């Protein structure tokens, strides 16, 4: 069992035919962990939260709760592709919402 994209990728590459349960790894299709949600292929299974969609929605909710919001900051692990995709989605949402986005 793994949590996060880097461990999931390592397990995918090293586990051979051993089943691997993946959680918290972001979008498994966008990160290349599986071929598709309906037919993932390989030995990976698990749960995904499609966090790129959630990152966008969280920023929208924050802006709704704080209409005067002008700037947000986000910390993330740039070595984790799943987290990088979440960051990029939130950054794009910030532009649409007129909010400055800081690293």
Tokens read off for 29: 């299709």
pLDDT classification of 103: cutoffs 50, 70, 90 = low
Domain residue ranges of the chain, discontinuous segments joined by +: 2-46, 51-102
3-state secondary structure 27-78: CCCCCCCCCCCCCCCCCEEECCCCHHHHHHHHHHHHHHHCCCCCEEECCCCC
Residues 11-60 have pLDDT tens digits of: 999 998 899 999 888 888 888 899 988 888 888 988 877 767 778 888 89
Task: Select from 21, 7, 15, 10 the least CA-distant residue to 83.
Answer: 7
- Dist CA 76 CA 94 (whole Å): 16
What global pTM score does this model have?
Answer: 0.63
Asked whether 48 and 54 are in contact (CB, 8 A), the reply is no
Which range among 31-35, 81-85, 89-93 shows the weakest confidence by mean pLDDT?
81-85
Q: What is the pLDDT of residue 83?
A: 82
Q: What is the mean pLDDT of the chain?
A: 87
């Amino acid at each position: 069992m793994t949590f996060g994209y880097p461990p999931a990728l390592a397990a995918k590459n090293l586990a051979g035919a051993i089943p691997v349960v993946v959680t918290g790894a972001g979008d498994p299709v966008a990160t290349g962990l599986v071929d598709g949600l309906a037919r993932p292929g390989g030995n990976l299974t698990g749960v995904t939260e499609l966090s790129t969609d959630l990152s966008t929605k969280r920023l929208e909710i924050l802006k709704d709760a704080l209409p005067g919001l002008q700037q947000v900051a986000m910390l993330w692990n740039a070595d984790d592709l799943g987290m990088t995709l979440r960051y990029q989605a939130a950054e794009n949402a910030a532009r649409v919402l007129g909010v400055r986005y800081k690293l």
